[in-house]
Structure 1
Amino acid sequence: MDNHLLMVLKPACLPIVPDSSGDESLLDQARAWVKKEYSKPGNVFLGVVHRLDRPVSGVVCFARTSKAASRLSEAWRSNTVFKTYQGLGVGDVLEDSGHLTQWLIKDRERNVVRVVTAETTGAKKAETKWKILRREKGKVLFELIPVTGRAHQLRLAAATLGAPLEGDIKYGATKALPDRSIALHAGELEVPHPTKDDRVAVKAVAPF
């Protein structure tokens, strides 16, 4: 952390921002930590510049100033952020690595994303680089690198490759995990620093 950004580790099943559940959010916790750590009077500003799905764990970046929020948001829009995920899939994948291109469309009412043809109205292109890090007992450990940033694209990629992520019943898993998490972890996040000619990278080990 510095005066411009804050990197934190999000546990699975904690929402990044307050939602209809009323549960405490990562944003709430991060604000409380900054307020206590730096004896900040009044409200603490933290800008949300990206999201992780609630069931997913991993590294999250918050902006500490409005200028940083604007510049970091632009970094996400211009695709100058580097992200690497690990995912534990149930099943087998014949190849060891690849580059998967799909066309996706989101059903906002059901919060489900479907794979469609490129000609489908509203379809968005999703590209994912992937490789198998480990194989054991009917499971594979993926490294997943999103070239694009589409909703649920990594979850769909794992399912398309034949090994849905453990616990991800929305996209092919046969059973949920006890805590309703899914085995997907944002293990590395690298962003351009909002005020310096430098990049900031943070890694966090996957919990599976």
Structure 2
Amino acid sequence: MSKLEVLYEDNHLIAVCKRATVLVQGDRTEDKPLVEIVKEYIKEKYKKPGDVFLGVIHRLDRPVGGVVVFARTSKALARMNALFQEKKIQKTYWAIVEQTLPTENGKLVHFLKKNQEKNRSRAYDKEVKGSKRSELDFKLLGRSKNYFYVEVYPKTGRHHQIRVQLSHIGCPIKGDIKYGGKRTNKDGSIHLFGRSIEFIHPVKKEPIKITATPPQSDPLWKELTNLSMG
């Protein structure tokens, strides 16, 4: 339980920092998912008998770390799902990419088509059959010797959206060989991180911003964190 980094907690919601390579929900690998780890934490902390309710509101790809919010009640789950559907949730991501962006800040609009069998998506400049419009804003935060630090604000929530759109403009994310990265990261992660999430609390009706810090043992993440604080 000590490995779980809790970022926010009340009677309605709990937000944690997902470590890269951990699943949010179970799959055929049968690796222990984050939802079960959080359930165990709640059960132990509050001495709850029986099953613990925990609603999955959103997900991060397995190789991606960052903020994940769960609902502790069915009411909170329904209301958070509605906020997502109404696009009243603001997410911010950090990405470390291998090539510089076309401009220091801007917008990307593509049409993404998912290949279910291969679990990957492809971006098109124009709409094709079965594609969905995908939009994000970006801002260049700085650079290291070999990489570029980018803040990303997705406006839609498509499958692998940030990874695909950045790759499509020639800026693959470090470690993301699925979408054009030069080589894998040793730990199986990619350098994409769910930095923060903002919304109006579904029950308390007050503005909430939950922020996570990427692993400071990684020199690139550490440099980007320091850069953002400066």
Question: For this structure pair, what is the TM-score category when the shorter chain's length is used for normalisation?
Answer: over 0.9
Partners of 2:77 and 2:43 in 1: CA distance? 19
Find 1:108's aligned residue among 113, 116, 125: 116
Find 1:120's aligned residue among 128, 131, 135: 128
Amino acid at match of 1:128: L
Q: What is the CA-CA distance between 1:18 and the residue it aligns to?
A: 1.2
Please state if 1:168 is matched with 2:194: no
Match of 1:204 in 2: 212
Match of 1:79 in 2: 87
Q: What is the CA-CA distance between 1:118 and the residue it aligns to?
A: 3.3
Which runs of no fewer than 5 residues in structure 2 stay unpaired? 1-8, 216-220, 222-230
Amino acid at match of 2:71: A
Amino acid at match of 1:142: V
Q: Residues 161-199 of structure 1, C-alpha deviation per residue, up to 9 Å, x if partnerless?
A: 322101100111011111111100000011221212212
Q: What is the CA-CA distance between 1:160 and the residue it aligns to?
A: 2.6
Match of 2:50 in 1: 42
Please state if 1:136 is matched with 2:148: no
Q: Is the 8 A contact 1:117 1:123 kept in 2?
A: no
Q: Residues 59-100 of structure 1, C-alpha deviation per residue, up to 9 Å, x if partnerless?
A: 000000011111101111111001000011112224211111
Amino acid at match of 1:35: K
Match of 1:25 in 2: 33
Amino acid at match of 1:150: R
Match of 2:5 in 1: none
Q: What is the CA-CA distance between 1:117 and the residue it aligns to?
A: 4.5
What fraction of aligned residue pairs are identical, expressed as a percent? 39
Which runs of no fewer than 5 residues in structure 1 stay unpaired? none
Q: What is the CA-CA distance between 1:148 and the residue it aligns to?
A: 0.8
Please state if 1:63 is matched with 2:67: no
Count how many residue pairs are aligned between Structure 1 and Structure 2: 208
Partners of 1:123 and 1:165 in 2: CA distance? 22
CA RMSD between the two structures: 1.1
Return the structure number with greater relative CO, CA threshold 8 A, min gap 6.
1
* Secondary structure at 1:18 match in 2: coil
